[in-house]
Structure formats: C-alpha cells, structure tokens
Amino acid sequence: MKFLVTGSAGFIGFHLCRRLLRDGHAVAGLDAMVPYYDVRLKEARHALLREHAAFRPRILDLTDADALRGAMEAEAPEVVLHLAAQAGVRYALEHPESYVRNNIVATHTLLEACRRHELKHLLLASTSSAYGANASMPFRETDAAATPLNIYAASKLAAEQLGHSHAHLWKQPVTAFRFFTVYGPWGRPDMAPFRFTEAVLRGEPIAVHNHGRMERDFTYVDDLVEAVVRLVGAVPETGRPAAACDSVSPAAPFRVVNIGNARPVPLLDLIAEIERATGREAKRELRDMHPGEAVKTWADTSLLEALTGYRPRTPIGPGIDAFVAWFRRHYGI
C-alpha cells in the first residue's frame, strides 16, 4: 500500500515508517524539522529511513496549504497517518501558540488536503492527556473528555473534534488513537526516560516531581507501532460498534482508540529500572507537582484488543534495557 506519514522524523513517526517499509509498503514521510529538540536526532532518524528505496522524504510545514496539497497529489496515498504535532505538557506553559498552530491549524490544513482524495483510512495521533481531570480509572474511550489540564491536551482534543467533523462531512473514515507515554530507542529528549537516563549517566541530578507520587502507563514503542499497524485495517463505519466497549460515532465513520500498556508504573519504579539498567544511582531532587500534569494515567485497552486481537505487553524492565542500550550506543556514554 501507499502510506503518507506526517512527523516521519519524530520518535513515533520514525518507528512507524520503518515498520511499514519493512512490511513492503511505499511511504512518503513529511516533517518540518521543527527545533523543539535537537534536530540532529531527527536528521539521524530520517537518514536511516532514506536507506529504503520505498521511502520518499518531504520537508514541509503542514500549515503550508499549497505545499501540502502538492505533496498529496504527487504521492496519492491510500492511507494517511498523522503523527506530526507540537508535543510536551510543560513547554505549553511558555509557548501555547505553538500548540494552536501545529496541532489545530496544521490538522485542519491536512484534513482539507485529504478530502480531495479517496483515502481508505485517515488515522490521527492523540494523547492520554485528553482524559484530563477524569478520576475514573482505567481511562475508557467512552469516558467524557471535557476537562483538559493543559494547552497540549486541549489542542489534541480539538484535533480529534476536527477529525470527527471531517469524517461526518466527507464520509472519510477517521481513527484517533490516544497514546499513553511512549518510550523506547530513538525516544524524545524531553521525556522522563530520556532525561533521567542522560542525567544518571552524566552524574547529574534528576527532578522528581510530586515527590515521586506519580504513575504513568508507559508503552514501549514497538508495541505501539504494532497496534497502529493493526488499526489501519480496522476501518470505522458509522454507528457499527465492533464491541460493547466501542467508541465508534453514531454520526460519522470515526472512533477513538487507546493504545497503552494497561499497567501504570510508579515514577519511582521507573527511576529504579533506569538505575538497574545503567548500574548507577540517581541523584534525586524532590519537587512539587508541575502545573498541568496528571498524577496518574491508565489505559483500558479492551477496545484495541476487540478490534485487532492485540494489546501491548512489554514490561517496563525490558523496555528500559532496550532504551538504555540504544542511548549508550548513540551517544557513546
């Protein structure tokens, strides 16, 4: 098949492109190379993808409607996987405008470009942050998502709503998947596994927010990619639920799907795994809760399993081992 992947130089986008290429598909990768973190890491990911003859990279900004339309016409994809976004909860406190532009405006521009083509499926990346202040655990796709705690979450919820409207108006199937704290080799430098590992290996202190009283549903990147690949074929149909837990819309070929490990991991356990994998002790600086963050995330993956027969299973220990091994190789530490 012919795929178009936005955010192809990003952490998840890179892994997804690599999997699709290995499976024999043609992949057009779009990325703006935004310097939110070290662009050299993004360039290194793209360099590996360029080794595949079936990969066609395009460096462009998704808010550039003319350039995006041209790319869509030239590539004529059958499936679009929209992973490009401004990520990060804490960055949103200082740069909220970036989230409006790169998560809302860019998604709208992409949807407008997509409606000129007959796609088999359009899949959008969202976030577990969409559940906001919800107290009921684990988070289910049928739960209300009306209490975002930060601009990042609000912008991704807006992207989901744009996707639903698009699916309703143009009858183009759309799936929005909510990722739960993805980690693994080639991970993002702003996320805890990367930041903590780098600090521990360099003998620097790590900031432990809420005094360590936090839990995250850490999801290994290979598990997430497997789930996304399987969801490509799980095309939603208006009002035709696949299971009792289905979130499919009664008004559009649209659904939301959680992708998580369904096992919350205490922050202190993550740190302990990093200490074990590196063979070094972390210097901890206990701090208060950071504004806009949730204390705990926990995915209900019943719908994912009903749709695909699969759910992520990699425990945090082996996942951290793989990440630390990559980190040491890549950075020579």
Q: Is 234 left (phi over 0), alpha (psi -120 to 50) or beta?
A: beta
Reading the block at residue 287, the tokens are 């701090």
Catalytic annotation, residues:
152
DSSP-derived secondary structure for 6-67: ETTTSHHHHHHHHHHHHTT-EEEEEE---TTS-HHHHHHHHHHHTTSTTEEEEE--TT-HHH
Cis preceding linkage at 138, omega within 30? yes
Reading the block at residue 245, the tokens are 């837990």
* Nearest-10 Cα torsion for 72, 73, 77, 80: 20
Backbone phi, then psi, for 91, in 5-degree steps?
A: -60, -30
Q: State the angle between helix axes of 192-202 and 316-331 in degrees (0 to 180), rounded to the nearest 10.
A: 60
CA 39 to chain centre: 18
Contacts of 99 by beta carbon, 8 Å cutoff, 6+ apart = 86, 92, 151, 152, 154, 155
Residue 186 CA to residue 179 CA, distance in Å, equals: 17
Q: What's the distance, Cα to Cα, between the start and end of the chain in Å?
A: 40
